[in-house]
Chains A and B, each alone.
Chain A
Amino acid sequence: MKIINYISTLAIPIVIIVIIFYGILDKKKIYDIFIDGAKEGMGIVINIFPTLLGIFLAVGVLRSSGLLEIITNIFSFFTNKIGFPSEVVPLALLRPISGSASLAVATDIMTTYGVDSKIGLIASTIMGSTETTFYTIAVYTSSIGVKKIRFVLIAALIADIVGMLASAIMWNYIL
């Protein structure tokens, strides 16, 4: 556990240092470039705000009405058998569909059950190790107007499911 924490904690500083180092090596105006990029970051946050608001509203009313609890209880019947926490099921269902929606659901899960709880850690790991599968497939195939996508959706969903199960198993049994 200590080693995992150490490697994890070291990862971000090292990546930043290597990037800055390469910037210096290439004799770039690093600070100006950094400021430019940071400016673009502001736009991203502002752009996802309406989506966040919409999803927070939907998840908020689902939870406060008591319906979300009933849905998770139904799922827990199946998911508990494989060691997947039912509290994370809403995230698992939304993750392949929408990036900002899953961000909102992940926030809801982490605030409800605790960001450093086992459930919070599994939700974090799922968020970090999967992508918005349906959206990506739609963008990539529609850009060239191709109709037959063959096995792409199946293979992509297999990867998602395996990744999610791996996240849960890791925190449940190994770490």
Chain B
Amino acid sequence: MLNKIWPFFIIISFIFAIITGNIERFNNSIFSSCAQAVDLSIKLFGTMCLWNGIMKIVQESSLIKKLSNIISPLMKFLFPNMKKGDKEYEEITINIIANLLGIGNAATPLGLKAMKTMQEKNPNKERITDSMAMFIVLNTASLQLIPTTVIALRASLGSANVAQIILPVWISTIIADIAGITASKVLMKKF
């Protein structure tokens, strides 16, 4: 997709800059955007490394197991066709916990494993089951407790209160997730 949008944006901007006489600003922005990208990467560097280090501790500790007990009522509601002890149940639980904690690189492989396990039990291989659909919708919604990337970004841009957005992010996440789950529950009966 970006293979088409990216050149289109650049070419159309160039044409527009010529027409409006903004070509000098256009030229300057080519080089300032390079500097901006370097600047942001350097500033993100520290926070990204910090969170990766912290999250590695989570992966190696028993915290994930502890948290999976807490979300079991939620699991029952989201995946009524699954029982505790099923392989896919365990995989989905850990995927959700990893998402909550923001360990994206651990969540995705586990999520794909859960998809595979569910597909093995799927009678119609061409069409996803209710549980699979719900699981994908959950993964497209954010579940992250600490929005690490945006925190890092705000810090790099010199925000006076970096963490100010955390509570609003939680509220907005919960509202979005409820909307996604409700839509799925309603639509799964019709499609």
- Alpha-carbon gap, A129 to B82, bound state (A): 28
Task: Give the contact-size bracket for chain A.
Answer: 35 or more
Q: Which residue of B lies closest to A3 (CB)?
A: B167
Q: Which residues of B contact A107 (CB under 8 A)?
A: 36, 40, 153, 157
Of A34, A54, A60, A143, the contact of B30 (CB 8 Å cutoff): A60
Asked whether, in the complex, the Cβ of B61 is within 8 Å of the Cβ of A34, the reply is no
Asked whether, in the complex, the Cβ of B191 is within 8 Å of the Cβ of A150, the reply is yes
Task: Give the contact-size bracket for chain B.
Answer: 35 or more
Q: Which residues of A contact B140 (CB under 8 A)?
A: 131-133, 136-137, 152, 156, 159-160
- Alpha-carbon gap, A61 to B17, bound state (A): 9
Interface bits B156-191 vs A (CB < 8 Å: 1, else 0): 011111011111110111011101100110011011
Q: Which residues of B contact A12 (CB under 8 A)?
A: 146, 151, 163, 166
Q: Which residues of A contact B30 (CB under 8 A)?
A: 57, 60-61
- Alpha-carbon gap, A116 to B162, bound state (A): 9
Does B57 make an interface contact (CB < 8 A)? yes
- Alpha-carbon gap, A22 to B144, bound state (A): 19
Asked whether, in the complex, the Cβ of B2 is within 8 Å of the Cβ of A101, the reply is yes
Interface positions of A (Cβ within 8 A of B):
4-5, 7-9, 11-12, 15-16, 18-20, 22-23, 25-26, 28, 30, 33-42, 44-46, 48-49, 52-54, 56-67, 97-98, 101, 103-104, 106-107, 110-111, 115-116, 120-121, 124-133, 136-137, 139-141, 143-144, 146-152, 154-156, 158-160, 162-163, 166-167, 170-171, 175
Q: Can you list 17 contacts pairing A with B, beta carbon distance less than 8 Å? A: A11-B163, A12-B146, A15-B146, A19-B63, A22-B58, A22-B66, A30-B57, A37-B56, A46-B41, A58-B9, A107-B40, A124-B153, A127-B153, A136-B140, A149-B136, A152-B137, A158-B180
> B-side binding surface: helix, strand, loop or mixed?
helix
Chain B residues numbered 95-115 whose CB sits less than 8 Å from any CB in chain A: 105, 108, 111-112, 115
Of B2, B20, B179, the contact of A98 (CB 8 Å cutoff): B2
- Alpha-carbon gap, A48 to B132, bound state (A): 30
Known: A28-B57, A57-B30, A65-B22. A167 touches B1 (CB 8 A): no
Does B83 make an interface contact (CB < 8 A)? no
- Alpha-carbon gap, A112 to B150, bound state (A): 16
Of A97, A110, A146, A151, the contact of B183 (CB 8 Å cutoff): A151
